[in-house]
Structure 1
Amino acid sequence: MLVALMMPAAALAQDSMEQARAIADATPSAPQHLSLVELPLPAGKAIALFDGRSLRGWTAWLGYPDPSVTYKANPGAVPIGVGRDTRGDFAVRQVDGAPAIWVKGETWGSLVHRADLRDYHLRLQYKWGAKTWAPRVEAPRNNGLLYHSHGAPGEVFGTWRPSVEFEIMKGSTGMVVTVGTKVRAQTKVAFDPSLIAPHLRFRLGGRPVDMINGTPTWNVEAASDAERPIGAWNTLDLYVLGDRAIHVVNGVPTAEVTGLATISPDGTRSPLTHGHIQLQSEGAETWFRAITIEPIRALPKIVGTNG
């Protein structure tokens, strides 16, 4: 570890490249054009998770007063949790002539919905606001839809619950992230040297990998960037059935994950098939609206062509 930290940045970058190349077994990263077929019919009535008037059904949790300490081993601070009025962090406001959930983004945390969900198609719309906050003023806008959330509030970095993330980040929306060291997921990847570490992109028919937080497979980039320009509304579709999920951005499938699981202290792997959703607050003002779920009994299928 100390040797790696003392290595020049160029050497570290080369090392991560070679590691990713080995993980993906040099699977080519040439573009794929992906689409969804065999969309499942709803198995029941659609339910609105946002009533358009209030945050009824949602509970706020806030991380550290200074978000820059969030990922430190010893942050030297205590999470805010539910210890303050959060109406200045999360609220229902009018935007573009309709109500939406406003997430300020300055203090990191999340809105957690009380429903324990399984086997569903979730759809929501989001768009970026004007504000970004330290320590990510210059970084791409960042947020996320976390699903199959479980465990204690703030269990992960004092800020989130263990979960799987449908990443909402400028240039990477639809990426898969395992949130917390107790969560596992499997997907298929290709090596893409144009990406920052871990240099892995979802690829239909790619090399299977086990996603583990804290390792070179802790996240896998979206198959493509299907997000609209800042200021425009985007539609996300999340299909979840048991321990499998498909991420879709503006009608374009961006990732498929299988084998969602939790890991117990003795190493036992148990399927992760249900949980809560969290709307993140992570450094960028964000608007969410039209959040609905409907039950499903099958997943759609991703098909694609290369080139």
Structure 2
Amino acid sequence: MVALAPPAASFAQITYERARSIAGDPPKAVERLILTDLPRPAGKRVALFDGRTLAGWSPWLGYADPAATYSSGTVAAPIGTSRDTSDDFAVRRIDGKPAIWIKGQTWGSLTHRADLRDYHLRLQFKWGERVWAPREKLPRNNGLLYHTHGKPGEVYGTWQPSLEFEIMKGSVGMFLPVGPAVRARTSVAFDPSLYWPHLRFRTDGRDVETRNGSPTWAIEAASDAERPVGEWNTLDLYVVGDHAIHVVNGVPVSEVRDLAVIGPDGSRQPLTHGQIQLQSEGAETWFRQITIEPIRRLPRIRAVAPRP
């Protein structure tokens, strides 16, 4: 999640009441979602991780002190690529198989060079043992960023503009736009049980636009489908054009559409392709079996009656 704390003064004013005014009264029943009508691959499946090296991946590191990431008074330059990153990102073996190891102590990302569009991406992740300041007492945090564009470090000196498939303990699959010019639309319901942002994805919810720095910036996943710490989780990301679906361990948890970038003149340009980033943001994380295959349409999300 690209936010340790609200980065702008306006975020301090985001309250329970504001969220409720946006989404209305909370639904009476929890929505249970299933994924149906899966698309057939339109081409060959390709591995983005060769199991031996970080070939095809480029590292970038933010500030030496991650606590400076959201500080308006930051004067130091990000680390970028100015130091050896082999102690930040590496290929190591775990559970008898190779995986990409991300230390998490210094914030940043690994960006794959491929410019991707209309695809089904699948990967597995699990948490490591270590967590780091300034997030050592907060939920473990990382992220899969997609439709990446722009310059390295353009967002908070640490990431590139993109859309986020959140990987955070208790919130895997949550959606956030990364960067002030990135936009998307989705449907939400008010959930008073959430500490923040009080808004959760719901298929029959109110339509909202998400943007960085707004009350609708982060939209919580429809449900928590993550497995216990120490177990592997499978994430599926389906993207066709400016429309995406997030799936966690086979459970659809978020759907966003009208992905776009707002130009300096206010024009809206659909965002339909880009690279992916694997974040480093305070928690040791392992990634493996990263594959992608082309698709021509999205699966469908269907709400079913809750279990008695």
Common fold: TM-score over 0.5: yes
Q: Is the 8 A contact 2:144 2:276 kept in 1?
A: yes
Q: What is the match of residue 129 of structure 2? A: 130
Is the partner of 2:258 in helix, strand or coil? Answer: strand
Percent of aligned pairs with the same amino acid = 68
Aligned twin of 1:141: 140
TM-superposed deviation, 1:73: 1.5
Q: Name structure 1 gaps, 5 residues minimum.
A: none
> 2:190–2:199: 8 Å Cα contact kept in structure 1?
yes
Amino acid at match of 2:257: T
The CA deviation at 1:72 is 1.1
Tell me the C-alpha RMSD between the 2 structures. 1.4
Aligned to 2:236: 237
CA distance in 2 between counterparts of 1:17 and 1:219 reads: 14
Q: Which amino acid aligns with 1:104?
A: K
Alignment-derived partner of residue 226 in structure 1: 225
Runs of 4+ in 1 over 6 A off after TM superposition: none
Q: TM-score, with normalisation over the residues of structure 2?
A: 0.94
| Deviation (angstroms), 1:202 | 0.2
Aligned to 1:178, what secondary structure does the other structure show?
Answer: strand
- Which residue is equivalent to 1:178? 177
Q: Which residue of 2 is the match for residue 247 of structure 1?
A: 246
Q: Check conservation: 2:34, 2:304, Cα contact below 8 A.
A: no
Shift of 1:75: 1.4
Q: Distance in 2 between matches of 1:46 and 1:27?
A: 41
Contact 1:27 1:189 in 2 (8 A): no
Cα drift, residue 25 of structure 1: 2.7
Determine the C-alpha separation between the residues in 2 that align with 1:275 and 1:37: 26
Structure-1 separation of matches of 2:115 and 2:45:
15
Structure 2 gaps of 5+ residues are: 1-8
Structure 2 counterpart of 1:60, one-letter code = P
2:5 corresponds in structure 1 to: none
SS at match of 2:304: strand
More off after superposition, 197-206 vs 249-258? 197-206
8 Å CA contact 1:29–1:191 kept in 2: the answer is no
Q: Any conservation in 2 of the 1:27–1:206 contact (CA below 8 Å)?
A: no
Alignment match, 2:53: 54
**Amino acid of the structure 2 residue aligned with 1:96:** D
Equivalent residues, number: 297
Q: State the distance in 1 between where 2:59 and 2:249 align.
A: 27
Code of the residue aligned with 1:98 in structure 2: it is K
User: SS in structure 1 opposite 2:17?
Assistant: helix
Corresponding residue of 2:27: 28
Q: Deviations over 1:98-143 (max 9, x none)?
A: 0000000000000000000000000000000000000000100000
Whole-Å separation in 2 of the counterparts to 1:230 and 1:115:
30
Question: What is the CA distance between 1:32 and its match in structure 2?
Answer: 1.0
Given that residues 29 and 190 in structure 1 are in contact (C-alpha distance below 8 angstroms), is that contact kept between their aligned partners in structure 2? Answer: no
**Using the alignment, how far apart are the partners of 1:122 and 1:27 within structure 2?**
33
Report deviation, 1:30: 2.9
1:293 and 2:292 are equivalent in the alignment: yes
Give the C-alpha shift of residue 74 in structure 1: 2.2
Residue-by-residue CA offset, 1:10-48 (whole Å, 9 max, x unaligned)? xx6xx6111111111335263111000000000000000
User: Per-residue displacement from partner, 1:169-224 (whole Å, max 9, x unpaired)?
Assistant: 00000000110101001100000011123210000111000001001011100000
Distance 1:89 1:211, change over 3 A: same
Match of 2:94 in 1: 95
